[in-house]
Structure 1
Amino acid sequence: MLIRNEAPGDAPAIAQVVTEAMRLLPQATGTEARIVDRLRQSGALTLSLVAEDGGVVVGYLAASAARIGEQGGWGLIGPLAVAPERHRQGIGSALMAEAIRRLRADSRGAALVGDPGYYGRFGFRAFPGLFVPGCPPEVVQALPFDGEAPQGELIHHPAFGLDQKE
């Protein structure tokens, strides 16, 4: 398996993997592939990683710039998706490890909204005072690279459609 940057022509395969993977999640909105398209179109993807096996896209991870409160320099991870038939094969873990490695080079930390049981394996955790309106506090998580606890609202790119400040 190869983890690489998205290449021209990958968008349809990425959309398919994201859509199929997200269908399995109860919190999925069905808009996740469109979020990736909007991030791509606006030039907001700081990372767009593909997991490829035998020439087939089997996983995807996006990261975009985010803020926590007034503090910029955060990398927001999401979506992370793996083709359903390839779950539990380490693909998501490989994508996440590569994303964290790359984000460490120029980010204050990484943040996401997701399952604490899964993302806790990578060092993500909830922090008192870290929030996204309407989200349970335990799913709003961060991995600060400097060890400093983040405080404030996790501000996503407008492509996520959360009607938040830029």
Structure 2
Amino acid sequence: MEANIAIREETAADIDAIHDLTVAAFREMEHSSYTEQFIVAELRAAGALAVSLVAKREGRVVGHIAFSPVSVSDDTTGWYGLGPVSVLPEYQRQGIGKALIEEGLARLQAIGAQGCCLVGHPEYYVKFGFRNVPGLVYEGVPAEYFFALSFGDHVPQGSVTFHEAFLADGQS
């Protein structure tokens, strides 16, 4: 990662930039529902952004990552969902997303999280320790796209439910 990238908690002054960079980051993604900016806004409005970080370069917000609590059907607590993670297209493939993920996971651990899960690209998230976990599912998503990372010895079993903000579509 370039040395001139700073990662910090989001502030109210970052909200418009986060919205715009999220739109730009997902605009060309073929597997996107193009609702990621609405998801972030709804998570924020619900007070469900447990960790929300921005990456800045030369005073400009160029990346963002969100983590929010998830529910697991076996009543395991302390688990979070990663996403969305967004980097402006012109700053992608420079290590910014990786740095946001690593810092976000460290901050989750610092607040006592037990683990993290996500829906994502099968080849990308394994380098952070995420893996497909037999017996832990996110309904409607093929197993090869659903990943979990336990911060301890316990890995939940059952169905994961992300915050209702993940249903946001910008229509309400």
Interval containing the TM-score (normalised by the shorter chain): over 0.9
Q: Which amino acid aligns with 1:135?
A: V
How far is 1:34 from its partner?
0.6
- The answer to whether the Cα contact below 8 Å between 1:77 and 1:111 also exists between their aligned partners in 2 is yes
The 3-state SS of whatever aligns with 1:135 is coil
Pairwise mapping of residues 84-99 of structure 1 onto structure 2 (< 5 A)? Answer: 84-99=89-104
2:142 & 2:82 partners in 1: Cα distance?
18
The 3-state SS of whatever aligns with 2:134 is coil
Pairwise mapping of residues 81-160 of structure 1 onto structure 2 (< 5 A)? Answer: 81-105=86-110, 106-160=112-166
Q: How far does the alpha carbon of each residue in 1:102-134 deviate from its partner, in whole angstroms, 9 at most, with x for none?
A: 111210111111012111110001111111111
Q: Which amino acid aligns with 1:153?
A: S
Match of 1:3 among 4, 7, 23: 7
The aligned length equals 162
TM-score norm. by structure 2 comes to 0.90
Q: Which has the higher strand share?
A: 1
The 3-state SS of whatever aligns with 2:77 is strand
1:26 & 1:65 partners in 2: Cα distance?
27
Quick one: higher RCO (CA 8 Å, sep 6+), 1 or 2? 2
How far is 1:161 from its partner?
1.2
Please say if 1:43 is aligned against 2:65: no
- The percent identity for this pair of structures is 44
